[in-house]
Copies of this chain bind each other. A is one copy, B any other.
Amino acid sequence: MGDDKRLRDAAEKLALILAQGGMQKTTARVMTCLLFSQQETLTAADLCAELQISSGAVSGAVKQLTPSGLLERVPAPGSRRDHYRFPDGAWATLMSQQNQLLATMGEVADQGLAAAGDPSTPAGQRMAEMRDFYSFMLRELPPLIERWRTDFTAKQAKQETHQAD
């Protein structure tokens, strides 16, 4: 099926984009491989074969992806191998983790503001703007993501009911 090749190409293309954005190249490839696979789950051996990488590399990528919620182990009854998959809602999870960064940026700005002493100094003004921006984002972004989550699950539920007709 030619579609598989198109999928694999799309996977590698996205991996490249993510790699340019700072993600480890192999880590990105593992992630997109799971994302674009027509299988529900893949084993480590599958990933080795598909991406032509060693088992050690897969292990490393799994280790990086799992805590970020971009990869999850799936219980595989009747198989001794671990099965991995790209979790539902992973993109929202990923975006949510930006919140941590937003909070950190806000804290740094606070410390900077304290260190600058006077808020009317050049550094003080920059810090004030920085703090204002990041506290704003930290206030607004989480509800936004939450809204998508509820909207999307509602949308899915409706679709399933429709299929059940």
Contacts and interface: CB of A to CB of B under 8 A. Distances in A.
Interface of A: 3, 6-7, 9-10, 13-14, 17, 21-23, 35-40, 86, 88-89, 91-92, 95, 101, 104-105, 108, 111-112, 114-117, 121-123, 126-127, 129-130, 132-134, 136-137, 140-141, 144, 148, 151-152, 155
A68 B126 CA distance: 18
Contact of A133 (B7, B123, B133, B148): B148
B39 A122 contact: yes
Contacts of A144: 137, 140-141, 144
Nearest to A111: B10
Give the most central of A86, A114, A129, A144: most B CB within 10 Å. Answer: A129
Contact of A38 (B37, B39, B116, B134): B116
B37 A123 contact: yes
Nearest to A130: B91
A10 B104 CA distance: 12
A115 B6 contact: yes
A7 B112 contact: yes
Contacts of A130: 35, 91
Contacts of A136: 148, 151
A3 B36 contact: no
Contacts of A101: 21
A82 to B, nearest CB: 18
A137 to B, nearest CB: 7
Contacts of A132: 148, 152, 155
